[in-house]
Amino acid sequence: MKLDIFCNKLDAHLTNCTSDEERLRTAMRATIKVFHVSLEEIALLTLHDNNENMLCFRWPEKLGKAGSIPLSAHNALAARTVRDNRPFTNNSFSSEPHATIFEQVKLDAVPQLPIQKILSVPLQKENRAKGVVQISRKGKDEQSVPDFTVNEQKILTEIAKVLSRHFLP
């Protein structure tokens, strides 16, 4: 399916969702199908309602209870994505210094694998980043998962435009 058709269908489907929870689950499930990743390999964070210097996890839901990420965090890609208001692709994420605390949170019964590669794209409103969507590829090592491509970054950037309409105030 062409990207513009996918985005239009996703937008229409999210508009018809009756609750925020349904909208969030629908958006995450649709996005993981495009990238062939699991629900544990997608994250959606938005600026905190009461503190625009903190990013809060909307997805995975369990991470929402685990804490927030300050925009001042220099080793957090999500914070950098919002600060710089631009997308990042990192195919050697596991070998670079980064905050690993959220990788330690057990999301399901399966043992957690480290994030090896990641795409990080801002969610924008009026050309200002107010959140971020990230797709990761987890595995035992960098060679166990495929690299992200420039085209995949472009795809996530277009999907982020749809997500911004539904998840930003």
**26-66 pLDDT per residue, tens:** 999 999 999 999 998 999 999 988 888 999 999 988 877 77
Contacts of 166 (CB under 8 A, 6+ apart): 11, 14, 15, 23, 27
Domain span at 52? 3-167
The chain-wide mean pLDDT, for the chain, equals 90
Contacts of 48 (CB under 8 A, 6+ apart): 54, 55, 56, 68
- Given a cut of 60, is residue 101 above it in pLDDT? no
CATH of the domain at 22: 3.30.450.40
Q: How many domains does the chain have?
A: 1
Model-level pTM? 0.90
